[in-house]
Chain A
Amino acid sequence: MGILSVENLNKSFGKLHVLKNVSFTLETGEILGFIGPNGSGKSTTMKCIANLVFPESGKVEIAGHDLYKERSQALSHLSALIEAPGLYFNLTGIENLKVFASLRQIPRKRLEEVIEFTGLGHALKKKAGAYSMGMKQRLALAVAILPKPTFLILDEPFNGLDPQGVFELRSMIKGLAREGCGILFSSHQLIEMEKISSRNIFIKDGEIVSQEKAQADVAVLSYKLYVDRQEQDLAMLSKLKTEGLLQDFLAGESELLISLSDITHCTRVITTILADGRELRGIVPQTANIENLYSHIYEKEVL
């Protein structure tokens, strides 16, 4: 069953069209990684879903309720931690929790559970403004899970967390998903995303890039060749690139790193290199992991 359905969201800030027909869905208990570089439209999409930003067109449904027609019912399923932790820095940690708990009339028992979850101990009696980034993040996460949401948005939740915090958050996210909570989350820590998410979507310049297509593309460009470097390299490589045999190359101090644009060109490229009297140092197969997908989509090789 879908907890979230986003259809054709469009949003502009002035002349800048930041969201272009953004559509995706999220299932109950699914952890959906939302990936994209800064300024690609991740946070704006999340803010649209959290009703903080109004899209020009499009439809958002949370647990089957239209966000713009049945706002209260839709938002009653949602909790969000978007961008930096949203707290009252002039209040103590415990006061922050109590204040936010009152917004959803959270029972005392649940409040105590969440206080335990924060792991902040006596620091909860200090003003939130005096907290480190990691402590603020923990407190903001605690605020987000206070109402036991069925749909959780987490934007950069690992920011500022120490390794222990990352580990705890990872298990918390997985635990919430097991309990049936749909989680939409974004992070620049791709390794963490790979460990947690059951599915990823990529956004580029305000458009969702098909994950299936990206994965298929990366599966094809799955070899890298390491070759001795010589002075006449550029001429040879440019020729191969012009012929469409290479996707890209990177010249190191003593060797060349060549990415093939198609596996079928492998034999021809190797033959050309060997015919040129060069030594082939290694062939590394590339798997379709999240970093490669990211590199492929955003046209920056991760080597």
Chain B
Amino acid sequence: MKAILQFECLKFWYAKKNLVVLLVFLASLLAMITYNIIQDNNYWAALEVELNQELALIQIEGTNVHKELEMAREAAKAGTTPNAEVVIAELEKKANFLQWQRVYCCQQSILAGEYSKDKAQEKLELWIARDQHLLNGFEEGLVESTSILAQSANPLEIEERLVVNQALLRDNIDPLNSPYEMTAANFLYHLTSFPWILIVVITLLMLSMDLFAEDIEGGAYKVLYSQPHKRSIIHVVKFGLNITASIVLVTGLIALTFGVLSLVRGLGDINYPVFYMEGSYTSLVTDPSAADTVLPLVPWSAYIAGVIPIYLLMSCFTLALTGTASLLLGSTANALSAVICLLFLDYSFRILFPTGSSFYLAWPFAALGFKDVFQGFYIGSALAYLTLLGGCTFLLLALSLVVLNKQDLKGGPA
């Protein structure tokens, strides 16, 4: 065991490929941060443009309602409409509602044009006021389905935004400049969301794609497996070391980036509210009615604590899958292609199957979007995916052990 461990450690250490992969991983994290910083810097300018467009459309809607109101009043004077007073009252209510929305939107647009961090509280109060007013409008039937107000956000989304802003105000938490602001905490939140998590997954598969294929391609397996060491020991050491080293190195680099970001751009508030599906770790399936209600909020730190087990198991699953593909296919390129194909399949399935589909209960890659799992997008809960990932990892390791123990070893350069 010691000899094999030393052998694998030396091989891992000497392989420049692993160093290159880790450097590319670090560069990808930096690219992700840069992209988000650019988005963050442009956020308020883009929002101002968006709000101005919305304002213009609200104004047009308001003008139309006023015209309808004039016509209704004229009709009432002429006595041609039987329930003219009711119609006029509704139109007046609607016109009043739109007028207020126009005022809120105008205020938001002005604030967006001159936004700075010290106006965070003002922003929260304004957004809360407008969202409350908008929700009331929806409840009272003042927002038509064709209205710009209905198209920009549905009541559930508005309610979610409202709940978060209220929590921020209540708990005196500084709101993020934008959803893209790269505080250390928000960086980690983004990295655990699809598709950014693919950076981690692809790095892991690059680290393990040659786990067995490297021995086969160079013919070194003939030396390795003719040594007085059991194949099962070689299997355990290979997977054990690869899984441990890859997770430690990747997590270490994430931690390093997190540390540097917290020094450069601030840690962010660790109590920042994040939506979280209750019962993620106590039941296997999500409550279907939860999709129509606002989820409870948990502090960011609690969310990350919930993410860690699923991150670790997803990493183990990815490494076991790639390592097994490397053994079965006997080629680094084929193993890489096979797993990339699976990731493409995952992307296709996300388009093909609705989020509530029971298909996702049998598809371990669904858990790639940790945020989605914890927010109940899929039928499976975090516990269900932990079970699925754990089971799949175990099966893959068992399969590769059986294959390695039973199969004749061949291949390599002729």
**Which of A's residues lie within 8 Å of B, judged by CB?**
47, 50-54, 71-76, 78-92, 95, 98-100, 102-105, 128, 143-144
Q: Can you name 22 A-B residue pairings with CB atoms under 8 Å? A: A47-B222, A47-B409, A75-B228, A76-B228, A80-B222, A80-B223, A83-B222, A83-B412, A84-B412, A84-B414, A89-B217, A90-B15, A91-B14, A91-B15, A99-B7, A99-B11, A99-B14, A102-B7, A103-B223, A103-B224, A103-B227, A105-B3
Let me know if B67 is at the binding interface, CB within 8 A. no
With CB as the reference atom, state the residue of chain A lying closest to B226.
A50
Asked if A53 and B409 make an inter-chain contact with CB atoms under 8 angstroms apart, the answer reads yes
CB of A273, distance to nearest CB on chain B (Å) = 48
Let me know if B64 is at the binding interface, CB within 8 A. no
**Which of B's residues lie within 8 Å of A, judged by CB?**
2-4, 6-7, 10-11, 14-17, 214, 217-230, 406, 408-410, 412-414
Asked if A72 and B226 make an inter-chain contact with CB atoms under 8 angstroms apart, the answer reads no
Complex: how many Å from CA A89 to CA B227? Answer: 20
CB of A12, distance to nearest CB on chain B (Å) = 11
Asked if A51 and B3 make an inter-chain contact with CB atoms under 8 angstroms apart, the answer reads no
CB of B162, distance to nearest CB on chain A (Å) = 56
- Known A84-B412, A88-B218, A102-B3; judge A51-B226 contact (CB<8 A): yes
Contacts of A50 in B (CB 8 A): 222, 225-226
Chain A interface, >50% SS class: mixed
Contact of B219 among A72, A86, A99 (CB under 8 A): A86
Asked if A100 and B223 make an inter-chain contact with CB atoms under 8 angstroms apart, the answer reads yes
Complex: how many Å from CA A103 to CA B227? Answer: 8
CB of B223, distance to nearest CB on chain A (Å) = 5
With A52-B225, A76-B228 already in contact, 5 other A-B pairs whose C-beta atoms are closer than 8 Å: A75-B227, A79-B226, A86-B219, A103-B4, A104-B3
Asked if A72 and B230 make an inter-chain contact with CB atoms under 8 angstroms apart, the answer reads yes
CB of B15, distance to nearest CB on chain A (Å) = 6
Asked if A90 and B16 make an inter-chain contact with CB atoms under 8 angstroms apart, the answer reads yes
Contacts of B414 in A (CB 8 A): 83-84
Contact of B7 among A47, A72, A103 (CB under 8 A): A103
Contacts of A80 in B (CB 8 A): 222-223, 226
Complex: how many Å from CA A105 to CA B11? Answer: 15
Complex: how many Å from CA A103 to CA B409? Answer: 19
Contacts of B227 in A (CB 8 A): 75, 103-104
Asked if A71 and B230 make an inter-chain contact with CB atoms under 8 angstroms apart, the answer reads yes
Contacts of B408 in A (CB 8 A): 47, 52-54
Complex: how many Å from CA A89 to CA B218? Answer: 6
CB of B363, distance to nearest CB on chain A (Å) = 35
Complex: how many Å from CA A28 to CA B11? Answer: 34
Asked if A99 and B228 make an inter-chain contact with CB atoms under 8 angstroms apart, the answer reads no
Contacts of B413 in A (CB 8 A): 84-85
Contacts of B226 in A (CB 8 A): 50-52, 75, 78-80
Contact of B222 among A72, A86, A98, A99 (CB under 8 A): A86
Complex: how many Å from CA A90 to CA B227? Answer: 22
- The interface centre, meaning the residue of B4, B14, B223, B414 with most chain A CB atoms within 10 A of its CB, is B223
Contacts of A71 in B (CB 8 A): 228, 230
Asked if B228 and A73 make an inter-chain contact with CB atoms under 8 angstroms apart, the answer reads yes
- The interface centre, meaning the residue of B222, B408, B413 with most chain A CB atoms within 10 A of its CB, is B222
Complex: how many Å from CA A27 to CA B389? Answer: 54
Complex: how many Å from CA A140 to CA B389? Answer: 41
